[in-house]
Amino acid sequence: MTKEDEAVGVTLANVGDTERRGGERSEAPRSGESPILERKPAGPQRVPDPEVAARPKRRQFTAEYKLRVLRQVDACKAAGEIGSLLRREGLYSSHLVLWRRQREEAAQAQLKTRKRGPKPRIQDPRVKQLERENAQLQRQLKRVALLLDIQKKAGEILGIPMKNLDDVEND
CA distances for 86 relative to 23, 70, 71, 79, angstroms? 54, 11, 13, 13
pTM for the predicted model, two decimal places: 0.38
- Cα–Cα nearest to 97, from 82, 87, 108, 110: 82
> How confident is the model at residue 13, as a pLDDT?
47
Give residue-wise pLDDT tens across range 125-171.
Answer: 898 899 999 999 999 999 999 999 998 888 888 888 777 655 555 54
Give residue-wise pLDDT tens across range 55-92.
Answer: 878 899 999 999 999 999 999 999 999 999 999 999 99
Contacts of 96 (CB under 8 A, 6+ apart): 69, 70, 73, 82, 86
